[in-house]
């Protein structure tokens, strides 16, 4: 007959005195308290798991009360009945809690950021981290990423949207990548960002300001009428950007070593082109510009001013650096075209006018150095269209002259 165990009472445990050797007081169901010679009292439990004896420890008394110890015993018995070792379950629970504490949003975000560095340009890496530090880490950074709720993300994004809608949209995309990274690393099971489809107001895509071809005569009049207010290199820069419709960075960073005035050719090294700056699969094709006569005249004039410098357009204060990218915008502002025209707008203007004249879109796109849209077009665009592009650039320069003088030219292609 099994020995009857009388359940313990708190008073009984409190009155228990230490002995020369440790001894135990049993509560039933395998639970007992072990009293050490030092007087410390430790809750333990005897049980069998898959036919083998196991011993569990629940902590010290009175840190763990009698009621708490009994609750732990009952929980352990349920696990054992399901064939689960309570020791392994406790270990897994501790590890999970530790992981939650270690995997804060900021730590995971910084790990993700580090993982992207090989593919990013330095400016992209810097801007991404700066935006997270400014808008996200101060609010969500110390929180375990697994505990972040949809509502918390919504609140953060809506606060940012009230200040800067485009920033909120970009940060939402960044958050989506961070949570996706956490899913792939096994830190969380679900990426909450795809659920937030309609959280932010739709942003109308803003295109770079650009004048239309019919507005060109007034623009040219303003440009020529501000000769006294513009430095000669600045005036030439605006005209060259209009004639060649290169990107602003491609113009202001241009070096005299790239220009062959004798043959009227400007070769922009692929490393300076937009698609050449990519770390992954950069386009290593140099960009060729067959300079129209008007551009050659401007460059000859410019060479008498900056020909001894490395750059076509050296900085006004520091000649070892190139012109600031704000110089073109400031010139347009002086002309009265703030918000109406941008450096990129010259590309839009040229593309619109040249298509109206009758040039093929693929030739225009090749001269614009646009990204090839798919593999089929990529193979097709490998044709350089050198002859047509040279003709296109000269026709464009002549078109600009006709708008400047009012002389009517029939540039329509058959």
Domain match, 114 and 164 both: yes
Residues of the chain with pLDDT > 70: what percent? 91
The CATH number covering residue 53 comes to 3.30.160.390
Domain match, 125 and 89 both: no
Q: Are 100 and 186 in contact (CB under 8 A)?
A: no
Q: Are 319 and 210 in contact (CB under 8 A)?
A: no
Q: Quick one: pLDDT at residue 381?
A: 46
Q: Would 162 be classed as within a structural domain?
A: yes
Q: Is 370 a catalytic residue?
A: yes
d(CA 252, CA 327): 9
Q: Quick one: pLDDT at residue 221?
A: 93
Candidates 72, 172, 247, 403; catalytic one = 247
> Which segment, 266-280, 304-318, 358-372, is predicted with the most confidence on average?
304-318
Select from 164, 195, 226 the last residue of a domain.
195
Q: Would 1 be classed as within a structural domain?
A: no
Q: Are 318 and 261 in contact (CB under 8 A)?
A: no
Q: Would 156 be classed as within a structural domain?
A: yes
Residue 18: band (very low, low, confident or very high) from pLDDT cuts 50, 70, 90 = very high
Query: pLDDT for 51-81, tens place per residue?
Result: 788 888 898 999 999 999 999 999 888 888 8
Select from 130, 163, 195 the last residue of a domain.
195
Query: pLDDT for 324-347, tens place per residue?
Result: 989 999 999 999 999 999 988 999
Select from 67, 96, 125 the last residue of a domain.
96
The CATH number covering residue 370 comes to 1.10.443.10
Task: Dig out the tokens for 238 from the structure.
Answer: 């605006």
d(CA 257, CA 184): 48
Domain match, 114 and 136 both: yes
Task: Dig out the tokens for 91 from the structure.
Answer: 């270990």
Q: Would 73 be classed as within a structural domain?
A: yes
Candidates 73, 347, 366, 403; catalytic one = 347
Cis status, amide bond into 288, omega within 30 of 0? no
pLDDT for 280 beyond 80:
no
Q: Is 61 exposed, middle or buried (0-12, 13-18, 19+ CB in 10 A)?
A: buried
Candidates 274, 278, 360, 404; catalytic one = 274
Residue 37: band (very low, low, confident or very high) from pLDDT cuts 50, 70, 90 = very high
pLDDT for 203 beyond 90:
no
The CATH number covering residue 127 comes to 1.10.150.130
Q: Is 103 a catalytic residue?
A: no
Q: Is 403 a catalytic residue?
A: no
SS in 3 state form for the chain? CCCCCCCCCHHHHHHCCCCCCCEEEEEECCEEEEECCCCCEEEEEEEEECCEEEEEEEEEECCCCHHHHHHHHHHHHHHHHCCCCHHHHHHHHHHHHHHHHHCEHHHHHHHHHHHHHHHCCHHHHHHHHHHHHHHCHHHHCCCEHHHCCHHHHHHHHHHHHHHCHHHHHHHHHHHHHHHHHHHHCCCCCCCCHHHCCCCCCCCCCCCCCCCCHHHHHHHHHHHHHCHHHCCHHHHHHHHHHHHHCCCHHHHHCCEHHHEECCCCEEEECHHHCCCCCCCCCCCCCCEEEECCHHHHHHHHHHHHHHCCCCECCECCCCCCCECCCHHHHHHHHHCCCCCCCCCCHHHHHHHHHHHHHCCCHHHHHHHHCCCCCCHHHHHHHCCCCHHHHHHHHHHHHHHHHHHHHCCCCCCCCC
Q: Are 55 and 45 in contact (CB under 8 A)?
A: yes
Mean pLDDT of 263-291: 87
Domain match, 28 and 141 both: no
Q: Is 71 a catalytic residue?
A: no
Q: Quick one: pLDDT at residue 55?
A: 87
Q: Are 280 and 119 in contact (CB under 8 A)?
A: yes
Domain match, 167 and 109 both: yes
Q: Would 2 be classed as within a structural domain?
A: no
pLDDT for 3 beyond 80:
no
Q: Which residue has the higher pLDDT, 215 or 89?
A: 215
Domain match, 301 and 320 both: yes
Q: Quick one: pLDDT at residue 87?
A: 81
Query: pLDDT for 353-400, tens place per residue?
Result: 888 888 888 888 888 887 654 444 444 444 568 888 999 999 999 999
- Domain of residue 141 covers 105-195
Domain match, 130 and 226 both: no
Domain match, 33 and 151 both: no
Domain match, 118 and 63 both: no
Q: Would 203 be classed as within a structural domain?
A: no
Candidates 48, 60, 371, 380; catalytic one = 380
Domain match, 242 and 310 both: yes
Domains in the chain: how many in total? 3
Candidates 277, 360, 370, 404; catalytic one = 370
Q: Would 138 be classed as within a structural domain?
A: yes
Domain match, 180 and 217 both: no
Q: Would 335 be classed as within a structural domain?
A: yes
Q: What is the pTM of this model?
A: 0.56
User: How far, rounded to the nearest angstrom, does the alpha carbon of residue 132 sit from its chain's CA centroid?
Assistant: 10
Q: Quick one: pLDDT at residue 374?
A: 46
Domain match, 228 and 364 both: yes
């Amino acid at each position: 007959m099994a020995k009857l165990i009388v359940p313990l009472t708190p008073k009984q445990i409190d009155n228990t005195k230490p002995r020369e050797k440790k001894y135990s007081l049993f509560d039933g169901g395998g639970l007992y308290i072990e009293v050490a010679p030092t007087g410390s009292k430790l809750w333990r439990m005897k049980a069998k798991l898959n036919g083998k004896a196991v011993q569990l420890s629940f902590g010290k008394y009175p840190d763990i009360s009698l009621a708490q110890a009994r609750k732990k015993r009952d929980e352990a018995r349920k696990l054992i009945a399901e064939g689960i070792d309570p020791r392994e379950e406790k270990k897994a629970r501790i590890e999970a809690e530790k992981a939650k504490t270690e995997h804060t949003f900021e730590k995971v975000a910084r790990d993700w950021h580090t993982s992207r560095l090989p593919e990013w340009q330095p400016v992209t890496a810097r801007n991404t981290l700066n935006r997270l530090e400014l808008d996200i880490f101060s609010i969500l950074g110390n929180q375990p990423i697994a505990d972040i709720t949809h509502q918390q993300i919504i609140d953060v994004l809506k606060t940012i949207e009230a200040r800067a809608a485009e920033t909120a949209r970009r940060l939402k995309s960044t958050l989506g990548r961070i949570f996706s990274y956490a899913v792939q690393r096994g830190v969380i099971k679900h990426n909450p960002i795809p659920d937030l489809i309609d959280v932010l107001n739709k942003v109308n895509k803003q295109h770079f300001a650009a004048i239309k071809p019919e507005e060109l005569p007034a623009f040219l009049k303003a440009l020529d009428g501000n000769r006294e207010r513009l430095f000669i290199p600045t005036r030439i820069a605006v005209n060259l950007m209009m004639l060649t419709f290169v990107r602003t960075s491609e113009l202001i960073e241009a070096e005299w070593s790239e220009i062959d005035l004798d043959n009227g050719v400007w070769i922009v090294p692929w490393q300076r082109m937009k698609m050449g700056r990519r770390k992954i699969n950069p386009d290593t094709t140099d960009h060729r510009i067959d300079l129209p006569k008007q551009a050659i005249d401007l460059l000859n004039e410019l060479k008498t001013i900056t020909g001894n410098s490395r750059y076509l357009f050296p900085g006004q204060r520091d000649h070892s650096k190139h012109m600031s990218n704000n110089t073109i915008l400031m010139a347009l502002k002086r002309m009265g075209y703030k918000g109406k025209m941008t450096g990129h707008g010259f590309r839009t203007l040229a593309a619109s006018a040249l298509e109206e004249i009758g040039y093929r879109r693929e030739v225009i796109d090749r001269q614009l150095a646009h990204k090839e849209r798919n593999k089929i077009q990529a193979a097709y665009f490998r044709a350089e269209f050198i002859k047509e592009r040279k003709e296109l650039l000269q026709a464009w320069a002549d078109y600009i002259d006709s708008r400047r003088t009012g002389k009517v030219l029939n540039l329509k292609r058959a």
